Amino acid sequence: MEGKVRIIVLMGVSGCGKSLIGTSLAEKLGLEFIEGDDYHSAENKEKMAKGIALNDQDRVSWLQELRKLFQETRTPLVASCSALKKSYRHMIEPDGGILLFVHLDAPQEVIENRIRSRQGHFFDPVLLTSQFETLEKLEDGESGFEVNVAKDEHLVLAEIISRLDDW
In tens, the pLDDT along 67-86 reads 999 999 989 999 999 999 99
What average pLDDT does the structure give for the chain?
A: 88
C-alpha distances in angstroms, 43 versus 37, 48, 166?
12, 9, 39
pLDDT classification of 5: cutoffs 50, 70, 90: low
Whole-number Å distance between alpha carbons of 69 and 153: 27
Single out the residue of 137, 157, 112 nearest to residue 20, CA to CA.
Answer: 157
Under 8 Å between Cβ of 106 and 151: no
* Cβ-Cβ contacts under 8 Å for 54 (sequence gap 6 or more): 44, 47, 48
pTM: 0.89
CB atoms within 10 A of CB 159: 16
So where are the chain's domains?
7-164
Under 8 Å between Cβ of 136 and 85: yes
Whole-number Å distance between alpha carbons of 5 and 75: 6
Query: Domain spanning 7-164 has what CATH number?
Result: 3.40.50.300
